[in-house]
Amino acid sequence: MRPPSVSDVARRAGVSKATAARVLGGYGRVSAAIHAAVSAAAAEIGYRPNELARSMTTGRSDTIGIVVGDIANPFFAVAVHAMSQVLRAEGFGVLLANSAESLAEEKAAIDTLLGRRVDGMIVSPADMRESSHLRAIVDSGVPLVQFDRCAAGLAVAGVTADDRDVAAEVTHMLIRRGHRRIAYFTACETDSGRFSDLEEIGTGSVRERIAGFLAAGEGLEDTALEVVVGAVGAKRAQSLATEVLSRGAEAPTAMIASDSTIGLGLYTAARAAGIAIPQALSLVTFHDADWTAIAHPGITVISQPARRLGEEAARMLIRQIQTGDGTCAHRVVPCRIIPRGSVGDGPVS
């Protein structure tokens, strides 16, 4: 049961293979009569072009590879959705791969995609410190756009949010409100289990945020700013927060969550400990998740333009493919702070 090919159509229509191919492929000129005959023959036997074979000769696969950390993460889900829409509109299919935020899996995925001869790639590098595999993409002549994070020392296009700036802005706001003990929670892990150096943070976007956070706190006492790592999942975030909040006078009066899953953990921890938000604790989280609007009080969030970021990345890639232009434009899309009531005055106000 081999699917019908151009030859089959040609034979049935009584024309040469080339002629049939022309009408089937929609290129070259063919007389109306023959065109109709071939189309009819094709429809009769249910012909469908073999895109693989087509790719072989054209060199294009009309397929884009996308590698993200976790499709189940709403941020990526929305972004991927946006990318697909833009890409589909331009006639590209999408080959999706999950890296589970693991460098090894990311490498494997990229390898597979290169083997499939994708026309371009959008990748969210799991670790900004390793970029050899990304360089391999570029060396293969495949257009690449980094998404949400950028690898260090790699002259490749990218689309990111203004992580550093918005983190600094939020931190400044908290300081202005009188907070002098602020904790930033991230899912990133370090070898020691504690944070000591920015270099330990592999996720580019998170590193940027922490950089902004720390920069905003310059001039304050050493104890003012704290980074808590390893908050993987709501449960772990909750237990870490519970621990931190139990320090009494040493406990932070404000917390920033690096994603909404963590935010949920922090919120739950505060409630469980009977700590009032925003009177005794201020809370801000990245990502405008559902729950933040119905929590009591509503949670002040840093809304990430996931859709816009995705669209922008897709467009940037398309441009790169179409113009063959290798300029490594770097686009930054601003986040938006949505105040909802979870931020109150600190002790120094």
The answer to whether the peptide bond before residue 339 is cis (omega within 30 degrees of 0) is no
**Which residue among 168, 264, 277, 284 contacts its own copies (CB under 8 A)?**
264
**Which residues, 45 to 104, sit near DNA by CB under 7 A?**
47, 49-50, 53-54, 56-58
**Of how many residues is the chain composed?**
349
Output the smallest distance, CB 121 to DNA, in A: 19
Size of the site for its own copies (CB under 8 A): 55
Please spell the DSSP secondary structure of 263-305, one letter per residue.
HHHHHHHHHHTT--TTTT-EEEEES--HHHHHSSSPPEEEE--
* Displacement of CA 196 from its chain's centroid (Å): 26
Q: If contact means CB under 5 to 8 A according to the sort of partner, which of DNA, its own copies, none does residue 303 touch?
A: none
Q: If contact means CB under 5 to 8 A according to the sort of partner, which of DNA, its own copies, none does residue 74 touch?
A: its own copies
| Interaction of residue 11 with DNA, rule CB under 7 A | no
Taking the CB of residue 297, how many other CB atoms lie within 10 A of it?
A: 15
Q: Look at residues 127, 124, 103, 107 and name the one whose alpha carbon lies nearest to residue 115.
A: 107
Contact pattern for its own copies over residues 197 through 216, marking x by CB under 8 A: --------------------
| Interaction of residue 6 with DNA, rule CB under 7 A | yes
CA distance 336 to 192: 33
At 222, give phi and psi (nearest 5°). -60, -30
Q: If contact means CB under 5 to 8 A according to the sort of partner, which of its own copies, DNA, none does residue 70 touch?
A: its own copies
CA distance 28 to 30: 7
Output the smallest distance, CB 132 to DNA, in A: 22
Closer to DNA by CB, 43 or 276: give it: 43
Closer to its own copies by CB, 111 or 199: give it: 111
32-45 and 6-13 helices, crossing angle to 10° = 120
Output the smallest distance, CB 12 to DNA, in A: 12
Tokens of 122: 């959008």
Q: Calculate the alpha carbon distances from 225 to 20, 175, 187, 237, 251 in Å.
A: 71, 10, 17, 18, 11
Q: If contact means CB under 5 to 8 A according to the sort of partner, which of its own copies, DNA, none does residue 28 touch?
A: DNA
| Interaction of residue 28 with its own copies, rule CB under 8 A | no
| Interaction of residue 176 with its own copies, rule CB under 8 A | no
Would you put residue 252 in left (φ > 0), alpha (ψ -120 to 50) or beta? beta
CA distance 57 to 95: 20
Q: Which range, of 7-15, 81-89, 246-254, 329-337, touches its own copies by CB under 8 A?
A: 81-89
Output the smallest distance, CB 89 to DNA, in A: 21
**Where along the sequence are the contacts to its own copies (CB under 8 A)?**
1, 3, 46, 48-53, 55-56, 61, 63, 70-74, 77-78, 80-81, 84-85, 88, 93-98, 111-117, 136, 139-141, 234, 260-261, 264, 267-268, 271, 289-291, 294-296
Contact residues: DNA, CB under 7 A: 2-3, 5-7, 15-19, 21-22, 24-25, 27-31, 33-35, 47, 49-50, 53-54, 56-58
